C-alpha cells in the first residue's frame, strides 16, 4: 500500500485512522483500554535501520524510492485516544491517528498488536478483580505466554487492579510491584518437607508464604506452623478441592493459634472459580494462564480503519467500509460517556463530524486525550508513572459502571449502548 500510494501521489493525503472494536468478546459487558503507554513509546522509537532496509531491498519488497522514504521515517502526526485504564464499548474510538496516509498506514500492525493483547488481558483481569471483591490478586502467568507478552500481561493486569506480579521485568520496566512463592520443586529438592520449610524461613523470614500441598495438606499446615511459628505469613494451596481445602486449612491454622496467617490459592483460577471461592476464608489469589490469555479471548478484536481523508482540494471526506458484518462508521468522532443523575454510565455517545455544543447533560464525561502532538508524545502517559496513572484512572472510571456490568453470566450484552449522533444536513 505504501509503495503504491507513493507512486500514485496519494501517500501525502491527510488521513484519519481509527482503532475500535466492533463488538466485545463473547461474554464481556465492558472492555478496558490497555497498552497506550507501550504503544506511545513504540511509535516514538519506530525506525527503519540499515538491517531492515537491507532485508527489504534484498527481497525486493518495495521500490528504491520507498526505501529512501522509509529510511527517513519519523511519525510527525497527532494521535488522540482514550486514556489508558479507560473503559470502552463497541464502536468506541479508542485511538485516532491523524497524519499523512503514508505515515499512518504503516502503524497498523504495531498499534493493533499492542492494543489487542493488552486490552484483552486488562479486560479479563478487571472481571477477576470484581469477582475477588477486594481480596488481592497476583499475576503469575509468565510461563503461559511469550516472553515479551509476559511483561505486557503483568503491566495490563496491574492497571486493571491486580496487586502484584511474579514477573521481575515488569517490576523493573514498569514499576509493577513484584512478589513470588516457592514452587513444589523447592520442596522436592530437599530430603524432607521440613528441611525445605526451614531453609525458606531461614532465608526469607517467618513472614514468607509456605507451599503446603506437595504431599499432605493437613500435615503440611501443621509442619508450616511448627517451623515458622505464630509469625508465619501465609500458606499456599495449589491443587485439590479448593473450597473444601481452604475451609479445612483455615480451621486448622486457627486451632494452632495462627489466626493471622493468610491463605492464598492458585491452581488455574479464572473469574468464575474466583467467584466460587468468594464464600470461603481465602485471603488472596494467584492467577496465571487465564489472565495472560484473556480468559478465553486472547485478542480484543480491535481493528484499524481509515475513516476520513482529504481530497485533491484539501477538503475532508468521510469514508467507511460497508462489507457484510464488517461495516465501519466514517468521520471524525467526539466521544463522551453519558452519566445519569446517580453518576452511573447510561450510554457511550459518539458525535460524528459535529461538535457537542452543550447537547449533553452536564454530568457527561468527555473521553479522549491528545497523546501525540506533531510527533511528540505526552510523557505523562509513558513509563512507570504512566502505568500508575492508568491504574488510578481505571479505579475511578470503573465506579461509573452499573451493577449489572459485573455479572459473570456468559453471553452478556454490553452494559451500555453506543449511540451515534451525526451533524444535521444543511
Average model confidence (pLDDT) for the chain? 95
| DSSP symbol at 295 | G
Element spanning 139, H or E: strand 137-139
**So where are the chain's domains?**
2-121+297-407, 181-282
Name residues whose C-beta falls within 8 Å of residue 51's C-beta, 6 or more positions apart in sequence: none
Query: What is the pTM (predicted TM-score) of this model?
Result: 0.95
Question: Which set of grid coordinates corresponds to residue 390?
Answer: 492508568
pLDDT at 67: 98
CA dihedral 421, 323, 33, 274 (to 10 degrees): 110
pLDDT in tens, 150-191: 999 999 999 999 999 999 999 999 999 999 889 999 999 999
For the domain made up of 2-121+297-407, give the CATH fold.
nicotinate phosphoribosyltransferase (3.20.140)
The verdict on domain 181-282 having CATH code 1.10.3720.10 is no
pLDDT tens for each residue of 238-264? 999 999 999 999 999 999 999 999 999
DSSP letter string, 325-379: T-----S-EEEEEEE-TTS-EEEEEEEESS--TT-S-TT-EE--EEEEETTEE-G
Looking at residue 324, its pLDDT comes to: 86
Question: 370: exposed, middle or buried (C-beta count within 10 Å: 0-12, 13-18, 19+)?
Answer: exposed
pLDDT over 90 at 327, yes or no = no
Q: Do the first three CATH levels of 2-121+297-407 and 181-282 match, i.e. the same topology?
A: no
Amino acid at each position: 500500500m505504501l509503495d503504491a500510494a507513493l507512486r500514485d501521489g496519494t501517500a501525502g493525503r491527510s488521513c484519519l485512522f481509527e482503532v475500535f472494536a466492533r463488538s466485545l468478546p463473547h461474554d464481556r459487558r465492558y472492555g478496558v483500554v490497555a497498552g497506550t503507554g507501550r504503544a506511545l513509546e513504540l511509535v516514538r522509537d519506530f525506525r527503519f535501520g540499515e538491517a531492515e532496509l537491507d532485508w527489504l531491498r534484498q527481497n525486493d519488497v518495495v521500490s528504491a524510492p520507498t526505501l529512501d522514504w522509509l529510511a527517513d521515517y519519523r511519525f510527525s502526526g497527532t494521535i488522540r485516544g482514550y486514556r489508558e485504564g479507560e473503559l470502552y464499548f463497541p464502536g468506541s474510538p479508542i485511538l485516532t491517528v491523524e497524519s499523512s496516509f503514508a505515515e499512518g498506514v504503516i502503524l497498523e500492525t504495531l498499534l493493533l498488536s499492542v492494543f489487542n493483547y493488552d486490552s484483552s488481558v486488562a479486560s479479563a483481569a478487571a472481571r477477576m478483580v470484581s469477582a475477588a471483591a477486594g481480596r488481592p490478586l497476583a499475576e503469575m502467568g509468565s510461563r503461559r505466554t511469550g516472553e515479551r507478552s509476559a511483561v505486557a500481561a503483568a503491566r495490563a493486569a496491574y492497571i486493571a487492579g491486580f496487586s502484584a506480579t511474579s514477573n521481575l521485568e515488569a517490576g523493573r520496566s514498569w514499576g509493577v510491584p513484584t512478589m513470588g512463592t516457592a514452587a513444589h520443586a523447592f520442596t522436592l529438592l530437599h530430603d524432607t518437607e521440613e528441611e525445605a520449610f526451614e531453609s525458606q524461613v531461614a532465608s526469607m523470614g517467618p513472614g514468607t508464604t509456605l507451599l503446603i500441598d506437595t504431599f499432605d495438606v493437613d500435615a503440611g499446615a501443621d509442619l508450616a506452623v511448627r517451623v515458622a511459628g505464630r509469625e508465619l505469613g501465609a500458606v499456599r494451596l495449589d491443587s485439590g478441592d479448593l473450597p473444601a481445602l481452604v475451609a479445612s486449612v483455615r480451621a486448622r491454622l486457627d486451632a494452632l493459634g495462627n489466626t493471622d496467617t493468610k491463605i492464598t490459592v492458585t491452581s488455574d483460577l479464572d473469574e468464575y472459580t474466583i467467584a466460587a471461592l468468594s464464600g470461603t476464608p481465602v485471603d488472596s489469589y494467584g492467577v496465571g494462564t487465564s489472565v495472560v490469555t484473556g480468559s478465553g479471548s486472547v485478542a480484543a478484536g480491535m481493528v484499524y480503519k481509515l475513516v476520513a481523508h482529504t481530497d485533491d482540494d484539501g477538503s475532508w471526506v468521510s469514508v467507511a467500509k460497508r462489507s457484510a458484518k464488517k461495516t465501519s462508521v466514517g468521520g471524525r468522532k467526539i466521544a463522551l460517556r453519558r452519566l445519569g443523575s446517580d453518576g452511573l454510565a447510561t450510554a457511550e455517545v459518539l458525535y460524528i463530524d459535529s461538535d457537542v455544543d452543550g447537547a449533553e447533560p452536564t454530568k457527561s464525561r468527555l473521553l479522549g486525550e491528545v497523546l501525540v502532538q506533531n510527533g511528540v508524545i505526552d510523557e505523562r502517559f509513558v513509563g512507570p508513572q504512566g502505568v500508575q496513572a492508568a491504574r488510578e484512572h481505571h479505579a475511578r472510571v470503573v465506579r461509573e459502571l452499573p451493577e449489572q456490568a459485573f455479572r459473570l453470566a456468559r453471553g452478556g450484552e454490553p452494559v451500555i449502548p453506543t449511540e451515534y449522533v451525526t451533524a444535521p444536513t444543511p
